[in-house]
Structure formats: structure tokens, C-alpha cells
Amino acid sequence: MNDITNTALGEDSLSVSKKRKILDAFPSSQSVPQQQQQQPSSLEKRQKPENNNIDLKSMRDRRQQLESVLKEKQAAKETLRKLQSEMWSIRTQIPELELKLEKAMDEHRAIERNYKMKQRDLDFLSSKKEKQIHELQLALELFQQEDDYKLNQEVNRLADKFFNEAQQKEEQRRKAKKQETKDLESQLVDLNEEKKVIEESFEDQLSNLKREGEIKIENIKSDYHLKKQAIRLQIENTKVEIDTTNKMIEEAQWTISTNKDKIEKLSNEFKIAKADSGEFEEKTKTLRFDVSSLIQISADRSKEYDKLKEKSEKMVEDTQTLKEKLLEEETARRKLHNRLQEIKGNIRVFCRIKPELETSSFPHKITPLLETTDGKEHLSISEVPNTDQRQLQFNSNKSNIKKFNFGFDKIFGMESSNSEIFGEISQLVQSALDGYNVCIFTYGQTGSGKTYTMSNPNDGMIPRSVQLIFNRIEQLKKTDWEFKVEGQFLEIYNENINDLMTESYLKNLDKIKHQIKHNEIEQTTTITDLTTISLSNAEEVGSILETANRNRMTASTNSNNRSSRSHSVFIISLKACNTQTGESTTGKLNLIDLAGSERISQSLVTGDRLRETQNINKSLSSLGDVIISLGNKKSQHIPYRNSKLTYLLQYSLGGNSKTLMFVNVSPNVKHFNETLNSLRFATKVNNTHIGQATKN
Ligand SMILES: Nc1ncnc2c1ncn2[C@@H]1O[C@H](COP(=O)(O)OP(=O)(O)OP(=O)(O)O)[C@@H](O)[C@H]1O
């Protein structure tokens, strides 16, 4: 760079001296005359005359050349100056670039050092690895050289270890299981206690609910009676008041018309008096006063009349409100009543022990069981081994005898009357009135009191039910309920239906084939050609029972009491409609006196008796099967078709009904086996829980 500068400077200095010489040799056109004036050279003086014009021209050319050279020089000078300034700027950058170069060199050196170190480390590692591979190879060789003995020893050691561990684990598991069993047992005890407490509380709740329900029904009933009386009184008072008001109105009207006459008469008199003038003036005043007071009286009377009219209207309104309230209370009563029935269960079994008429054959005293733990009432029937003495009693405590315990919803002892029994079932009759299907059966051996319970004149379940139905219908009229009651009475003998209400019973006996027809949509049943009697009062049922009884008796012969060998079914249909609310219901009360259930061995009878026995056994066991299937939620099929009786009662058993079965038993030792069988059958039925009933 310095060389370049020097060269440039050298050229510059050269060109300056050269310029001076050239300028000296070739003066400018302006300066020429001046030089000529000042000092002309000898040569110039000599050549001037001949070459003067040529020289001047060449000089001018030269001068022009010189000037262009000078311009070029000037430009070169400028270029030089620019180059110089660039050179200075480059010069100033040189130290910085030198520093950067130095730094890069340092970095390069450091990288080189690092590389060398890494190379060394790598060499060291590869030698170490080789060493390790060598060691491993040696170890592998050693391992391969180990003998079977060592291996077996190791296997045995491991097996022992495993066996010990397994034993320990088994011991631990056994202990844990023992502990778990203990825990579970104590949990079971707790749960049993809990269950007991729950059961007790449930029992309490149930009995409380029962009590509450009964109290509520009683309260509603007494309220209803009180209100009914109050309404009646109010209606009577209203009537009296209306009569009085009418009389008063009549009186007022009569007074008004009389007064009008009087006024007319008086005004006539007044006119006459006026004509007579003065002397009658006083009289006129009095008369005027009389007239105005009469008008006042008339106005007062008409106000009074308005008030009375208003009062009477209010009373009519109050009566209507009370009537509506009564209807509401009736609806609430129905709900409560049916809730109570549901709580009691849709299938219930009551046991009735017939009084022992042959006292000599029954040596033991019967005592009722007072305490129950499962909400049921219990009796036990006992057999004394190796003796002929057996006993049927409530809660016998004797330990030396074989006892059979039975629990039922209710047990009626020998002293129980039909009225007492009806008190328990009257609520089911109410359910039939409320639109439910109800079946009440009497089951038991011949002579155990089924017919006495069901149809005894006046106090049997049939006459009492009909009586209750008509009493309730009369009461329900007040809440605008209207009823249509129809009755049918039939018997099923040898799987054939006979009409018990027809006078030609004997003539048709076992000849007419009455068909059972079901309407699946309406869930109703009809029996072809069966007499249906429209019932309008309770008294009619007496003659129905009489006809049926007479018919059954005439068909029996000395050798065969046919009535004991057939089922009798009394059907009461109850169609109700509320004229105010438009609500309508259809209920059915089926009262069934079943054929005697005694087991007559089929091998002992032949002919008609065999057929009879087979049919009775078939229909009674079908009844049991149907009830049990209904209670079994898993049952897909209910075998209604297995007997005429169950087929007839298809829509009156099960989900849509409330069922009550009386098991009638005899306390006589002679009937021990039959009694035991009846109680077993009834227990099966009692253990069935049928779903909640729905209204038709
Ligand atoms: N609780 C009772 N109180 C008084 N007498 C009774 C009672 N129960 C039954 N009896 C009498 O016992 C006898 C047999 O009773 P009932 O005819 O009712 O039996 P049953 O089971 O209907 O027999 P069957 O199957 O033959 O019809 C009758 O004379 C009846 O009056």
C-alpha cells in the first residue's frame, strides 16, 4: 500500500515538474505577445518573418494538447485522491481485521487442542473396551466351564426356597382366611342384628301405618258423618229461612198492595178533604206522614228480602262447596283405603278353626297365641308319638310332641263369629266397590265350616257383603256415585259349569255346556247362557242363596253330597259412575266356596267318585299353581287353563286383584292329616306375594 502511495506521489511530483517544463516551452496564446513584447529570443527574431503563421498554429495545437493533458491529469489527480481516501479507510480497518484474524487463529488453535484431547480420550476408551471384551470373554469361558453339580445345587436351593415361601404364603393365606371368616361371622351377626332392628322397625312402621290408616279412615268416617249432619241441618235451616223469607215477602207484597190501596183511598179522601179544605189540612198532614212511613216500611222490607235472598244463595253455595269437599274426602278415603289394603298384601290367608262340636274327641284346651314376631298369627298342630292323641292349638309349648307351626295373616279361633270375621274382610268389599277385582275363597275339607263361613244366612260373607255393598251405595249417592249391581251364582262340578240361579237347574244339570269367554282388551269374562240378576237391594240376595242352596241340595243323593264335591262361585259385578266427575269404575267380588279338599285315595274309589276326586284334586292344585306362578316374578306362563275354576277367575286373580283365602280347619283329632294338608296348602298360598293391584 505504501508503495502504491509512493508511486502515485512520485508520478505526481514528476508531472508537476514536467508541466512546468512544458508550460515553459509552450507559452499560452495570451502570454505570447507579452513575451514578444518583453524579451524576444534571437531565433525568434530571425525566424519570425518567414514562419510566424505556422508556429503560432502549431503552438496553439500544442497548447490545446497540453490543456487536454492537464485535464486528464486533473482527472487522474481526482482519481488518485479518491483512491487515497479509500486507502486510508482500508488502512483504518487493518488493525481491526488483524485483531479478528488473531482471534480466529486462537480459536483454530483451541479447536485443534480440543480435537487432540478428544482423540486421546477415544483411544483410551477403545483400549478400555477391548480390555472389557477380553474380560467378558474370559468370564464366559469360566461360566461355560461350571459343572452340572453346581447347577443342581442351585436348582435345589431355589426349590427349597420356593417351597418355604409357598408354605409361608399358605400359612398367611390360611390365617387371613380365618380372620376373614371371623370378620364375616361378626358382620353376619351385626347384619342379623341390623336385620332384626330393620324388621322390628318395619313391623312398627307397618303397624303404625295400619293404625294411622285405620285412624284416618275412622276420622274421615266420623268427619263425614258430622259434616253430613251439619249439611243436613244447614239445608233444613236454609229451607226454614227460605220459607220464612217467602212468607215475609208475601206479607210485604200484601202490605205494599194494601198500602197502595190505602194510598189511593187516602189520596181520594185527600182530594175530598182538600175540597173541604182547611179543616182537613191537619188530617192531610197526618195521612202524608202515614204514607211516607208506609213507604219506608215497604223499602225496609224489600231490603230485608234482598238480604235473605243473598243469604239463601250463599247457603246453596256453601252446600255445594261442602258437597265438593265431601267428594274430595271420599276420593282421599278410597286412596287411603287401597293403600292400606296394599300394605296388608294383595293375597292374604286367614285360618278359621271350626268349633268342636264333638267335645269328647278333643281333649285339649286351645289357648290363643298373643305374641308374634313376623306380623303373622301362629298356630301349631301337634302329634303325640305312639298315641292316637293329637292336638291342634295355638302356640303349644309342650316339648315332647312333634309340632307343626303355621303362620297366617289372621287366625280365628273356635269362638270367633261370622260378624267378627266379616269385620276383617269388609275392607275388601270396599275395594270391589272402588273398582278392584276381589276373590274370597274358603278352602278346607268337607265339614270344616266353609259354607257356614261363606253363605250362612244373614251373617255369612255373601249376605254381609251384599248388605255392606248396598249400605255403601246409599252413602256414596251423596257424592254423586251411581252403581249398577249384578249377581251370578254358579257351581263347577266335574269341570262343568252349572247355573245355580235357574229354576231349571235339575233339568239342565251337567247338560248345558256353559262357555267361559274372555275379552282380552277389556279384561272381562262372560259365561254363556248364565243367569244374571240385577240386584237393587240386599234383601234379594236371601232368595238367591235360598234358590242356590235348594238346587244344590236336590242334586245331592244319599250316597253323594254333591255340594261338597263342587265349587260354588258367587259373582257380584259393580259398575260405578260419578255423575259429577265423570269417573267410572268396574269392580268384581267373587265369593268362592271350594269343594272339600280331603284327599281320598284314588285307589279306594271307582267310577263317578273317582272322576269327582280327580277333578277336585286337579282344580285345587291348579288354583295353588296359579297363585304360586303369579307370585313368582320369573313365571312367563300362568296356567289358568289347567282348570275351569282358574280359567273363570283369570282376570280376578293376580295383578289386578286382591285375594283372600280362608283355610277352614277342624280341630277334631280324626281330621289331623287333612288339617295338616290344608294348613300346608294355605301356607304355600300365603307365602306368595302378588304385585300391586290396579284399578279397573
Ligand atoms: N263356626 C261355626 N260355628 C257353628 N257351627 C259351625 C261352624 N262352622 C261350621 N259349623 C257347622 O258345621 C257343619 C259343617 O259346616 P259346613 O257345611 O259349613 O262345612 P263345609 O266345609 O262347607 O262342608 P262341605 O264341604 O260339605 O260344604 C254345619 O252344620 C255348620 O253349621
**Does 312 score more than 70 pLDDT?**
yes
Separation of CA 447 and ligand 1 centre (Å): 5
In angstroms, the CA 133 to CA 129 distance is 6
Which value, to the nearest 10 degrees, does the dihedral of the CA atoms of residues 491, 497, 501, 506 take? -100
Separation of CA 459 and ligand 1 centre (Å): 13
Q: Which three cell numbers stand for residue 517?
A: 269367554
Separation of CA 456 and ligand 1 centre (Å): 9
Which residue in this structure is represented by grid cell 312333634?
Answer: 402
Neighbours of 201 (CB within 10 A): 11
Contact in structure between 679 and 381 (CB atoms under 8 Å): yes
Nearest CA to ligand 1 atom 10: 449
Work out the pLDDT band at 560, boundaries 50, 70, 90: low
Contact in structure between 635 and 629 (CB atoms under 8 Å): yes
Contact in structure between 583 and 479 (CB atoms under 8 Å): no
In angstroms, the CA 276 to CA 77 distance is 170
Question: Is the four-CA dihedral 328, 333, 334, 340 of positive or negative sign?
Answer: positive
Q: Of 230-239, 557-566, 585-594, give the lowest mean pLDDT range.
A: 557-566
* DSSP state letters, 465-516: HHHHHHHHHHHHGGGTEEEEEEEEEEEEETTEEEESS-TTHHHHTTTS-PPE
Neighbours of 613 (CB within 10 A): 19
Q: Which three cell numbers stand for residue 71?
A: 485535464
One-letter amino acid for residue 524 of the chain: T
Closest CA to 597 of 619, 627, 578: 619
Helix axes 148-276, 281-344, angle to 10 degrees: 160
In angstroms, the CA 535 to CA 573 distance is 10
pLDDT tens profile 596-644 = 988 766 556 777 878 888 899 899 999 999 988 887 777 778 899 999 9
Maximum separation of any 2 CA atoms in the chain, in Å = 210
Work out the pLDDT band at 370, boundaries 50, 70, 90: very low
Q: Which three cell numbers stand for residue 289?
A: 206522614
In angstroms, the CA 394 to CA 381 distance is 8
Probe residue for ligand 1, chosen from 452, 560, 568, 678 as the CB with the greatest number of ligand atoms within 8 Å: 452
pLDDT tens profile 2-41 = 333 333 333 444 444 444 544 454 444 444 444 444 444 4
Neighbours of 140 (CB within 10 A): 10
Which ligand 1 atom is nearest residue 448's CA?
Answer: 21
Probe residue for ligand 1, chosen from 445, 451, 493, 613 as the CB with the greatest number of ligand atoms within 8 Å: 451
Separation of CA 311 and ligand 1 centre (Å): 62
pLDDT tens profile 382-426 = 765 444 444 455 444 545 556 788 888 889 988 899 999 998 888
Which ligand 1 atom is nearest residue 563's CA?
Answer: 27
Pairing of strands 437-444, 657-665: parallel
End-to-end CA distance of the chain: 127
* DSSP state letters, 359-384: GGG--SPP------SSSSEEEEEEE-
Contact in structure between 533 and 487 (CB atoms under 8 Å): yes
Work out the pLDDT band at 445, boundaries 50, 70, 90: very high
In angstroms, the CA 209 to CA 455 distance is 33
Q: From the CB of 668, is ligand 1 less than 6 Å away?
A: no
Separation of CA 668 and ligand 1 centre (Å): 13
Q: From the CB of 596, is ligand 1 less than 6 Å away?
A: yes
Q: From the CB of 354, is ligand 1 less than 6 Å away?
A: yes
Q: Of 100-104, 215-219, 489-493, give the lowest mean pLDDT range.
A: 215-219
Which residue in this structure is represented by grid cell 435345589?
Answer: 156
Pairing of strands 437-444, 584-593: parallel
Which ligand 1 atom is nearest residue 417's CA?
Answer: 1
In angstroms, the CA 427 to CA 218 distance is 13
Q: Which three cell numbers stand for residue 125?
A: 476408551
> Percent of the chain beyond pLDDT 90?
22
Q: Of 119-123, 239-243, 477-481, give the lowest mean pLDDT range.
A: 239-243
Pairing of strands 584-593, 567-578: antiparallel
In angstroms, the CA 134 to CA 127 distance is 11
